[in-house]
Amino acid sequence: MRVGLLGGTFNPPHIGHLICAQEAYAQLELDHVLWMPVYSPPHKEAVGDPGVEARVELCRRAVAGDERFSVSRIEADVPGKSYTVDTLRRLHESRPEDQLTFIMGGDMAYALPTWHQPETVLALATVAVAERAGVTRDQIRQHLAGLAGADRIRFFDMPRLDISSSDIRARVAAGRPIRYLVPDAVADYIASEGLYA
């Protein structure tokens, strides 16, 4: 099975994440996309983190009813920092028959040489890159050319959406509407649990 992997903090998940997963699924001819919320946010900006269980539930609600997607706890159940290479190794052990495709934005792809064991990441999975404003495909290709396995990187197109989780948290805190920026089930859960207020 060709499995796409979409990791992140998902604090909260929004339509940009869904569109990214959908475009990767369609353009890369994947059979399924696993959403993998991390246990703890890797960056300081996730000040309003409601905790891993809330973010896992938000992801479940975001993908509910779409058989192309499901939520995995493979990173949510690992306290502390989660290295992509370790996640890929665990997935290979538990699902050796699957072909893994790790989905990321252009900004993350450009930073790949600074990751923990980036060449092992490229050996364990195809890296699929959604081009984002600021970094072009050619810049990414040139920047990663020195890595073994860089020829396995694939690109896919995604509509430009100026939506971020931090903006959504700020809107909630300010009492502004978030409908149409997140799935209704996500907005309902944020409201009912008082998240980000």
Quick: pLDDT tens for 146-188.
999 999 999 999 998 889 999 999 999 999 999 999 999 999 9
| Per-residue pLDDT at 43 | 57
Q: Where are the alpha helices (DSSP H) in the chain?
A: 15-27, 52-63, 84-94, 106-110, 118-124, 137-144, 165-173, 184-193
Tens-binned pLDDT, residue by residue, of the chain (197 aa): 999 999 999 999 999 999 999 999 999 999 999 999 999 876 555 568 999 999 999 999 999 999 999 999 999 999 888 899 999 999 999 999 999 999 999 988 999 999 999 999 999 999 999 986 678 899 999 999 999 999 999 999 999 888 999 999 999 999 999 999 999 999 999 999 999 99
Three-state secondary structure call for residue 94:
helix
| Per-residue pLDDT at 46 | 58
pTM, 2 dp = 0.94
CA distance 66 to 69: 6
Per CATH, the architecture of 2-193 is what? 3-Layer(aba) Sandwich (3.40)
